[in-house]
Structure 1
Amino acid sequence: MKKTIAALAAAVIFVTGAISPSAAAETSGKVAPKTGVTINVYNWGEYISNGVDDTIDVNKEFTRRTGIGVNYTTYDSNESLYSKLANGGANYDIIIPSDYMVSKLIQEHMVEKLDFKNIPNFKYIDKRFRNPQYDKTNEYSVPYTWGVVGIFYNKKYVKEPVDSWKILWDKKYAGKILMFDNPRDTFGIAQKRLGYSFNSTNPEEWENAAKLLKEQKPLVQAYVMDQIFDKMSSGDAWLAPYYAGDAATLVKDNPDIGFAIPTKEGTNFFVDAICIPAGSQHKKEAEAYINFLCDPEIAAANMEYIGYSTPESAAKELMPKEMVENPIFYPDENIMKNSETFVNLPEDTNLLLDTLWAEVKMGGPGQSATLVAVLCGFLLLYIGIVVYKKVKAKRELQ
């Protein structure tokens, strides 16, 4: 999805009496001897506690306790993760995709079954997060974080209640509205406005959602991801849907910014889960890493830093009340009941979504063909120039 630092100040941790990240590290015992094994971890950007501002450095602490090294790299979308895996571009041992991508990877046999004997800390995962729709047998994944989608808004300019996705179509905010730069989240908003399921397989419903997004496009300043933070903070944009876990910093740092979860139509309840890609060279060590992330002390310190919600009640007990009682991080049950999780779509629906998304981004039907024609024209021109230069060079040699 999607990630940016959303932490409370370190001082809050000490004031509330919750265990500090550094204290969590100190309880771990002796330094383990090096194993000579390094696992490759591929995660969202800014989605793990890294030692900044006296927080725990999760990867270093894992190495200290186990002797297993960590090579840590990041991606910015589920789709880029999938592309990297599908193309065989790298050898990863840990990945953290979102719910619908987990189910896609399971269906395409791109992730390994987990040996839960090596993950005893799975016992701390709350029952409501077990056997999820995206991994019904709970054989391939362990929940890492969860959250819901809501709307950032500028209180200086948006005075009405932000309780419906409809506000993102309000013409008086033309040029001040941002939208997600990915199809599932953007179409999901339109689908909820129309009363459809996120996981519909009805082509007509997807086309109706695309029509609604095309009607909105003249009002949209830009389709973005993490850029919303700069645009909202500067006042350049006034309305932007985004993930609740990223709300803390923006709301805390700027009193003009509010965050609301639309209650009239419902929202997306997402889970990011830890998986092991098929063909991992260090599966046992990767399972040790998953087990480490599920340790309540580590999970609590980690969630305090990244700002997302934990699937472990045991971890919540170690976190500041300001976080666990904050409805941004832990919405009330009525909101949760009116939320829905993405799952992987059938291939024909995915192809339709890709086509419709291209049309929305480029302004309407027929634009895809126009773009292809223009690109082909440039390609032919380039080939012509190359051929001309070769012929000219040959003549000069003669």
Structure 2
Amino acid sequence: MKKKTAASLKALALLLLSAGALTGCGSGSGDRSSGSQNSSGEDNKLYVYNWGEYIDESVIDDFEEETGIQVVYDVFETNEEMYPIIEAGAVKYDVVCPSDYTIQRMIQNNLLAEINYDNVPNIKEIGTEYIDMAKDFDPENKYAVPYCWGTEGILYNKQRLDELGVPYPTKWADLWNPQLKGEILMHNTLRYAFMAALKIKGYSLNTTDPNELAEARDMLIEQKPLVQAYVIDQVRDKMINGEAAVAMLYSGDLLYIQEMSREQDSGYDLEYVIPEEGTSYWIDCWVIPANAEHKENAEKWINFLCRPDIAKKNFDYITYATPNKGAFELLDDDLKNNKAVFPDLSALKNSESVHYLGEEANDMYNEMWKQVKAN
């Protein structure tokens, strides 16, 4: 069982992004030596930096056995923890798995090397729709190979809503229903909290217009008396235990929550919906830092992870939507047809990925979030 899902870590990442918090050290994996021991000339080494709990560890063993390359594997908890490590360059990682908006920032600051796709023939297994999705932050697809992706939506407890006599939610505006007072869990992550309000208004979740942000702020202040709590990790236990009727949720947490709920005596029926007004989608990708000392080994790693049987093995462990079409075909029909986990991209109307907006915009968002919390 996973201790902490990558989706919840992603929420923490965006919380820290908005607050402008940066830390200067990575977290070692514990069972493999630290990447800080990196030195040039070790041709059979590969220094990997990834989110915690974001790979089936047997995949690392498989890679080592097949290639003879020794993996030195470190983990990070947020993009904001990872970014200054790569920027400083003192620890030279060969391959890293950031999120979309951080990849955008890394490209802007010349921190990434172009991938030689002659060494990544399994790129053909990544669906063209996900390659196109990555163009949002990597316009020429030079730097990033998709690994996992997902959406932001509403998780709801059907039994609890039936008891309250409230219809099942279909849109973000349903989280402003006075009948749900004390039953709503909102992300304690300002970019996503603001996203819900901005989408109701028909605005971009990446707006930097002070007037549009002020409207969203006022909506969140209006909603606040209805909110039971602003949460990150706690959303899982609260929904599994029936402590709230509705919650903002990353799709990546869905299968875990549903499985844990089924194991409870209460057995709540928990469902997920992508709101009609549009939402955010995210995609994490493998990239190679510009100062990587084992670039070809990094490309072998990326190619290995793009192999359908390996991508399927990872999906079974981390339960985040895979962009790998070969792996997708290996899934059971019930998973392939699960539109909460694998929504039709064409149906994600008015949806966007989170962009890195720069420090000035982040400061503006952060100030307005403080005003929401202060009221």
Aligned residue in 2 for 1:104: 105
Partner of 1:363: 374
Counterpart mapping for 1:61-72 below 5 A = 61-72=62-73
Shift of 1:48: 1.3
Within a 5 Å distance, the mapping from 1:1-398 to structure 2 comes to: 2-3=6-7, 37-50=44-57, 57-86=58-87, 90-131=91-132, 132-159=135-162, 160-254=167-261, 255-332=267-344, 335-360=347-372, 362-364=373-375
Aligned to 2:19: none
Q: Distance in 2 between matches of 1:75 and 1:209?
A: 32
Alignment partners' CA distance in 1, 2:223 and 2:73 = 39
CA distance in 1, matches of 2:299, 2:43: 17
Give the SS at the match of 1:112. coil
Quick check: 116-125 or 329-338, which moved more?
A: 329-338
Letter in 1 for 2:153: G
Secondary structure in 2 matching 1:149? strand
Q: 1:272-319: CA deviations, max 9, x gaps? A: 111122322322211211111111111122112211122122221122
- Give percent identity, aligned residues only: 38
Amino acid at match of 1:157: R
Runs of 5+ consecutive residues of structure 1 not aligned to the other structure: 6-34, 51-56, 365-398
CA deviation digits over 1:134-161, x for unaligned, max 9? 1111011001111211111222222312
2:7 alignment partner AA? K
Secondary structure of the corresponding residue to residue 50 of structure 2: strand
Give the drift of 1:4. 6.8
CA 1:95–1:156: 2 relative to 1, 3 Å: same
C-alpha displacement of 1:248: 0.9
- Cα contact 1:150–1:259 (8 A) shared by 2: no
AA in 1 matched with 2:179: K
Partners in 2 of 1:224 and 1:280 — Cα distance? 37
Distance 2:85 2:238 in 1: 30
Between Structure 1 and Structure 2, whose CA radius of gyration is higher? Answer: 1
Q: Is the 8 A contact 1:152 1:257 kept in 2?
A: no
1:138 is aligned with what amino acid? N
Deviation at 1:86, TM superposition (A): 4.3
Note the alpha carbon deviations across 1:159-191, whole angstroms, 9 max, x for none: 312101122223333333222232322221221
Query: How has the CA–CA distance of structure 1 residues 198 and 231 changed in structure 2, closer, same or farther, with 3 Å as cutoff?
Result: same
Q: 2: distance between equivalents of 1:100 and 1:210?
A: 23
When structure 1 is superposed on structure 2, of 151-160 and 326-335 the one drifting more is 326-335
Q: Do the aligned residues in 1 keep the contact of 2:198 with 2:204 (CA within 8 Å)?
A: yes
Q: In the aligned structure 2, how far is the partner of 1:299 from the partner of 1:152? A: 26
CA distance in 1, matches of 2:212, 2:344: 30
Query: TM-score of the superposition, structure 1-length normalised?
Result: 0.75
Q: Which residue in 1 is equivalent to 2:18?
A: none
The one-letter code of the counterpart of 1:220 is V
| AA partner of residue 49 (structure 1) | D
Please give the root-mean-square deviation of Cα atoms over the aligned residues, in Å.
2.4
